[in-house]
Structures are given as structure tokens and as C-alpha cells.
């Protein structure tokens, strides 16, 4: 479906398929931050990485920032990433049926998401926030 993806997106895609979803190490936000770390050497999840290992822990951290969008805005700002429009390869937060989920924009209105119990999903969700990644 997406044969023209940048190498960094392909690497993230392969990793998300290979590794099981796990809160705190391979969830939606940490996975996108790992993608950025791979590309730039900068970790927007540094303030909270390693501080939770359950859904409840993730919810507590997100809720303390008003949701996943607020948490990503916080981490991305601290790490020096600027807001941008949703372009191919951009880290984004989308509205997935009323839930703020972090993913990688694939272009053509779709976002690559990593979901608990569903794995890798490419979905046409509305973008709430996007950042430059290089």
C-alpha cells in the first residue's frame, strides 16, 4: 500500500511488527519517540521514559498533561521539536474514535498507529498535532 515510505518509517514499521506492544517500553507514545530517537538522536520521552509499565501509569502521565496531545507537546517542546503540518514521516497525535493516539503520518490522510491488542494499524484519523522531525 505504501511503497514510497522513507527508510526511518520503514524501520519503525518493521520494529512495531516485530516487537509486542508493552506499556512503558513499546506503547504508542514511546514507539513514536523511539522513531524520533532513531532519526535525530533526541528523545522527547526522556522526562517520563522508564517511569511506568502499566496502562494506569501511562494514563496518569498523560492525564497530568491533559492527554496524549498535551504530553507530546510538552516532550516535543523540551526536546526542541517545532510544531508543523502533518507531512509524510511526521510524528503526530490523532483523534482515534475519541482517544488521542500518537503515530507517524504516512501521507494520503493516513497515520501509522501502534495499538494495544491490535498491533500496527494504518488509519485515516484526524490529526490534532504534528511536529517537524528533522
The secondary structure of 59-76 as a DSSP string is: HHHHHTTTSHHHHHHHHH
Name the nearest CA neighbour of 44 among 20, 4, 77. 77
Q: What is the pLDDT of residues 86-122, one digit of tens each?
A: 999 999 999 999 999 999 999 999 999 999 999 999 9
49: alpha, beta or left? (left if phi > 0; alpha if psi -120 to 50): beta
pLDDT band for 133, please (50, 70, 90 cuts).
confident
Q: Which fold has domain 7-130?
A: endopeptidase fold (from Nostoc punctiforme) (3.90.1720)
Domain ranges in the chain? 7-130
Query: How many Å apart are CA 130 and CA 91, to the nearest integer?
Result: 6
Mean pLDDT, rounded, for 48-73: 98
pTM score over 0.85: yes
Name the nearest CA neighbour of 131 among 11, 2, 5, 42. 42
Name the nearest CA neighbour of 92 among 17, 42, 31, 20. 31
Amino acid at each position: 500500500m505504501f511503497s514510497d515510505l522513507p527508510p526511518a518509517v520503514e524501520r519503525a514499521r518493521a520494529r512495531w511488527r516485530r516487537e509486542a506492544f508493552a506499556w512503558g517500553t513499546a506503547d504508542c507514545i514511546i514507539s513514536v519517540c523511539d522513531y524520533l530517537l532513531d532519526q535525530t538522536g533526541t528523545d522527547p520521552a526522556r522526562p517520563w521514559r522508564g517511569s511506568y509499565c502499566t496502562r494506569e501509569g501511562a494514563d496518569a502521565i498523560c492525564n497530568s498533561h491533559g492527554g496524549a496531545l498535551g504530553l507530546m507537546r510538552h516532550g516535543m517542546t523540551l526536546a526542541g521539536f517545532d510544531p508543523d503540518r502533518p507531512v509524510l514521516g511526521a510524528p503526530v497525535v490523532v483523534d482515534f474514535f475519541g482517544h488521542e493516539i500518537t503515530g507517524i503520518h504516512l501521507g494520503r490522510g493516513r497515520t501509522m498507529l501502534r495499538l494495544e491488542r491490535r498491533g500496527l494499524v494504518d488509519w485515516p484519523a484526524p490529526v490534532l498535532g504534528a511536529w517537524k522531525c528533522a
